[in-house]
């Protein structure tokens, strides 16, 4: 009699465990296909790309030189990669429009004039051009500590 009771208790316990595992599997599968999971994975991918961003220079001067070089080659996609991560798509589109309108040479001329530079604060640098004792153009750069690259923040 006790053997039968233990047998049924063991069987019942096994069924409960299987039901709980199945429920957990269903919940996990539901989570894997959820918008929350997709958003989390996209964010993780962006963070990884940000950390491993190979574009930009070791110095602000190098980043500016690389940017100008890409513009001179007409490679607006490469030029846009020297901007901070969340501005790259915007600048790619703007530079493409400028290229199609024949204004890329004008931008190259303006950016090439911006030769004076100063550190604004740690990990921030500004290039500027002076005309008639006034600052005419500025280019702000920041340092991506994760990727160890200088990026253009504002032009």
Q: How far apart are CA 128 and CA 113, in angstroms?
A: 8
Q: What are 72-102's pLDDT values in tens digits?
A: 999 999 999 999 988 999 999 999 999 999 9
Burial of 26 (0-12, 13-18, 19+ CB in 10 A): exposed
Q: Name the pTM for this structure.
A: 0.72
Q: What are 17-73's pLDDT values in tens digits?
A: 877 777 787 777 777 777 887 888 887 887 787 788 899 999 999 999 999 999 999
Name residues whose C-beta falls within 8 Å of residue 140's C-beta, 6 or more positions apart in sequence. 120, 124, 125, 126, 152, 153, 154, 155
**Looking at the DSSP assignment, which residues form a beta bridge with residue 126?**
118, 140
- Show the tokens assigned to 50: 């940000």
């Amino acid at each position: 009699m006790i053997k039968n009771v233990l047998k049924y208790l063991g069987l019942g316990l096994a069924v409960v465990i299987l039901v709980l595992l199945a429920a957990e599997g269903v919940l996990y599968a539901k989570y894997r296909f959820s918008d929350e999971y997709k958003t989390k994975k996209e964010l993780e991918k962006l963070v990884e790309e940000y950390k491993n961003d190979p574009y930009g220079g070791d110095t602000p001067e190098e980043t500016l030189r690389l940017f100008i070089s890409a513009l001179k080659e007409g490679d607006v996609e490469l030029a846009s990669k020297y901007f901070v991560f969340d501005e790259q798509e915007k600048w790619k589109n703007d530079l493409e429009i400028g290229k199609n309108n024949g204004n890329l040479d004008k931008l190259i001329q303006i950016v090439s004039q911006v030769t004076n530079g100063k550190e604004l604060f740690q990990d921030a640098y500004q290039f500027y051009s002076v005309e008639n004792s006034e600052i005419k153009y500025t280019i702000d750069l920041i340092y991506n500590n994760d990727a160890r690259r200088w990026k253009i923040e504002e032009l």
